Amino acid sequence: MDDEEIKTEEPRREEQPKNEPEGFITGRKNPRGRLQFLNIIGQIEGHVLLPAQNKSTKYEHVIPQLFTAAEDPEIDGLLILLNTVGGDVEAGLALSELIANLGKPTVSLVIGGGHSIGVPLAVSAAYSFIAPSATMTIHPVRINGTIVGAPQTFDYFNKTQERIIEFIARNSNISKARIDELMLDTSKLALDVGTILIGEEAVREGIINSVGGLRDAMEKLYEMVEELRGSGG
């Protein structure tokens, strides 16, 4: 009698979930819509690498993912969670401009802090929240390292600052004049100029729309998604 060939079935391999891009998490599908979360933490890293021990958000990683969020028909809205100390002005403004013109409902939530270039990032969303204990620091443009002591250097700083002020005013309910006042206030910070706004103060100044938390931000974003659907968008 010939030996029968014994066949053994290989154990089924479960399909591995796709790795989410750095800083991005895609929520589960539900009848109200599917949301994507963008986490901006630490320092906004621009054209120069930060030391390895620094927590950072790399703008070159975020830009292509914003494009994907805009193009993906399964993504209905974007929630930006901010806890940043600021960082590279060019990189921060680049991300802010892309978020402001994403073409889908966007909501931002400042938790912890949304300082410096984090202010344009916070107001770039169509609607913004700040946690009651979160802070936002508004101050003039700064630079590290050697600079040329010439009038042209001051003009460059002034133009860069104007770009930031113009973006904030265009995407929030605060005037350019008031932003300038907050930036140049000498009574709020020791050995420095600028203003720290805590929670409700940022709302009263017209920078942020509402005080709230994660549930409030998600609920608002779902409402915006549903409203867009209802209008046939």
Say whether 47 is catalytic: no
Say whether 116 is catalytic: yes
- Residue carrying structure tokens 């344009």: 120
SS in 3 state form for 30-65?
CCCCCEEEEEEEEEEECCCCCCCCCCEEEHHHHHHH
Interatomic CA distance for residues 195 and 178, integer angstroms: 11
Give the relative orientation of helices 59-71 and 89-100 as an angle to the nearest 10 degrees: 10
Q: Which one of 56, 96, 108, 116 is the catalytic residue?
A: 116
For the chain, how far is it from start to end, CA to CA, in angstroms? 72
Q: Which one of 108, 115, 124, 139 is the catalytic residue?
A: 139
User: Mind telling me the catalytic residues?
Assistant: 116, 139
